[in-house]
Amino acid sequence: MRFEPSTSFARCRRAAPWAAGLLAIGAVLAMVRLGAACPFCSAVSKTLSEEMRDADATIIAKLVKAPPTTEPGKEPAGVPAETQKADFRILEVLKGPKSLAAEQVVTILYFGQEPVGQEFVIAGTDPKQLLWGTPVPLSPRARQYVARLPKLPESGRDRLAFFQDFLEDSDALLAADSYDEFAKTPYSEVLAIKDLMPHDKLVSWIGNPDTATSRRRLYLTMLGICGSKGDVPTLEKMIKSDDRQMRSALDALVACYLTLTGPDGLTLIEDLFLKNKKAEYTDTYSAIMALRFLGQETTVIEKPRLTAALRTMLDRPQLADLVIPDLARWQDWTVMGKLVELFKTANEESIWVRVPVVNYLRACPLPEAKAQIEELKKIDPEAVKRANQFFPIGAATPPAGSQRPAKGADVPPPTPKTEAKPTANAGASLP
């Protein structure tokens, strides 16, 4: 549920400041998705449940006759490798037309090297003449896991409780699928399993340097739900560390820390990342993301206090555009004069602040806001025009953070399910 940041964004804006509006469109869509799923997680792919839902048929089958074994480039004459097929005996029909039944044999294109006897889950489309997809090999545990999926509720506590047991499973398929399930679940639903969360395991996974950043984000989000004041010293040590690995997933780390400390912890975050003009861009952006999450999804810190923290960014003109939409959404109209001044004094390093300032004024209900827009139009009519062109419908202010992506943020590229590297076996059992 996160966009991939562009490392060339700043160069693009210096070459053509109006490009910020175009790049904002993708960020707006990303922020819309953010509100519908885990706030700091990125799903790698469709879940197995989604694949079953979208398929017309899903079966568990055993390979009973493999294609001829050949070396690449040495296929039998007249039999191209791509046309070789294998026979699979159906063991269980999870979904499909009545014509499918156990013990039937289906012939499917198969390019794998698994031995005869291996079990697979296979999805098909077109119920009238099923076209089977790529068979996915299953371990004995994975077969039980897959067989349970159609019986789970579509949402809610019991569904998440099931997947939670496999977050760090030794079977990479199960670990990846369970993570994707959590990544696509709204934060409000994750809250429902607070009493079931494995606190000590979460702490261990977060502290393990082999844990992927995407997974650490999820585990920190969960620790913010089930943790306590006793976890604060460890989190604070991680936040203050100069080790980038320890501070990976900083957005979720800061959110977890503040969720457990409340407003008492906000001073540290302000001093390290918001007021500190020497703070790295990615760290500052991560802190802003955390505050945005707290304001949108929780009540642990009141909005006036969060807004006061974000206002400190106005003293850093080059990054002020990151928080202006939040100030408008949270209706902080006290900074109108400051923003107008930022517009008037914008230079090559901060020129992109102008469109967000105009949008702030468009959203402001105070009568002087309209007058200020007319005044600023005399200085930069193109900026005012762009604000109206890119955000003409509904609220004048786009979602916070949509003015520019986080340059160089520590968001790892998605990892295919088959390459997932869980750090420990959760020891889950399938009843």
d(Cα 31, Cα 77) in Å, to the nearest integer?
55
In three-state secondary structure terms, 24 is: helix
- So what's the pLDDT on residue 74? 56
- So what's the pLDDT on residue 128? 84
- Please enumerate in sequence order all residues whose Cβ is within 8 A of that of 113, keeping only pairs 6 or more positions apart, or say none: none
Could you give the dihedral angle defined by the CA atoms of residues 45, 50, 138 and 108, in that order, rounded to the nearest 10 degrees? -100
Token pair in block for residue 18: 């109006």
- So what's the pLDDT on residue 183? 94
In three-state secondary structure terms, 198 is: coil
Q: What is the DSSP letter of 275?
A: S
Q: Looking at the chain, how many residues does it have? A: 431
The structural domains of the chain, with segments of one domain joined by +, span 48-62+90-151
Token pair in block for residue 62: 């055993």
What is Dmax (Cα atoms) for the chain? 82
pLDDT digit string (tens) for the chain, length 431 residues? 333 333 333 434 444 443 443 333 333 334 434 444 678 887 778 999 999 999 999 999 999 999 876 655 555 555 555 568 999 999 999 999 999 999 999 999 998 889 999 999 999 999 888 999 999 999 999 999 999 999 999 999 999 999 999 999 999 999 999 999 999 999 999 999 999 999 999 999 999 999 999 999 999 999 999 999 999 999 999 999 999 888 999 999 999 999 999 999 999 999 999 999 999 999 999 999 999 999 999 999 999 999 999 999 999 999 999 999 999 999 999 999 999 999 999 999 999 999 999 999 999 999 999 999 999 999 999 999 999 887 653 444 444 444 444 444 443 333 333 334 344 444 444 44
Find the helix or strand (DSSP H, E) in which 308 lies.
helix 303-311
Closest Cα partner for 388 from 379, 401, 397?
A: 397
Q: Which residue has the tokens 């760290």?
A: 283
- Please enumerate in sequence order all residues whose Cβ is within 8 A of that of 186, keeping only pairs 6 or more positions apart, or say none: 36, 37, 38
Burial of 242 per CB tally in 10 Å (0-12, 13-18, 19+): exposed
d(Cα 402, Cα 309) in Å, to the nearest integer?
19
d(Cα 50, Cα 59) in Å, to the nearest integer?
15
Alpha carbon 242 to its chain centroid, in Å, reads 25
Token pair in block for residue 333: 């109209």
Tell me which amino acid residue 121 is: V
Token pair in block for residue 142: 């994975």
Could you give the dihedral angle defined by the CA atoms of residues 43, 173, 156 and 32, in that order, rounded to the nearest 10 degrees? 10
Token pair in block for residue 366: 């105070």
Closest Cα partner for 264 from 297, 294, 300?
A: 300
Cα–Cα distances in angstroms (integers) from residue 7 to residues 3, 106, 204, 282, 409, in the given order: 12, 49, 32, 11, 8
